[in-house]
Structure 1
Amino acid sequence: MMNNPDKFLIGGEESGGLTIRGHVSEKDGILACLLRAEATAMSKKSVASLLKDIKKLVGETLTSRLDFCLSSEIMNISRSTLETKHPKSIAGMKVQKSITIDGHKFTLDDSARIGFRLLGTEPLVRI
């Protein structure tokens, strides 16, 4: 998808930021809230009911994030390792695909995914 940005319609993040192609070029939490309110009003359904409908349409999405504070030395070793070594498996699952845009992301068996993002602003790795 990153090679074809015109295929993106909508993007969001856990902090509530949202962007929609052709509307807002930056993340906008107010837009997300307004669209949610509009969807609720127009459909006359509760937010829970709308979420249930979306899950039926696109499937369940399960996410989790772990943040680890590391020493500068370990951060440097981790960064170097991720940039030079390409794992064939992670946690016993074969790596099917890897992407190195905004971190290091791996698609594993059964479409499971894991990503590692080493922050540049603080000694923190997000998994």
Structure 2
Amino acid sequence: MIVPPPKRPRSTEENVLPLINIVFLLLIFFMLAGVLAQNPPFELNSPATAEAEDSAQLERQVLAVAADGRLAFAGEPIERDGLSEALADWPDDKPLQIRADGGIKAESMTGLFAALRSAGISEVDLLTRHEEP
């Protein structure tokens, strides 16, 4: 009669090592594949809001407006005359997200909204930073 050799007990380290390897590989993958929000080519101080919404819906294509009226779309500076060309392929069902400087005058925003309306944008979201009251 052939007797099988006794099985050696497996240590818990052998079970944890593959899990550590997978988590490490996922960490590296998401660090390389993830894209952070693009910063505009000028400094912005966003206005504050007391109500915060989920910031996970931020997209990479944001229209940035400086206090002096300069514009940037998707991280690239644009002129106000080229706004309709830059937004020509913007989908109708999505609101355009605008990150404006907190010190901008309302007259500048009114002119910008008129230019956006003529470019075919019907809805916008103004992005703010959350500040505790």
TM-score by length of 1: 0.23
Q: Identify which of structures 1 and 2 has the higher relative contact order when contacts are C-alpha pairs closer than 8 Å and 6+ apart.
A: 2
Please state which structure has a larger fraction of its residues in strand: 1
Task: Tell which structure's C-alpha radius of gyration is larger.
Answer: 2
TM-score by length of 2: 0.22
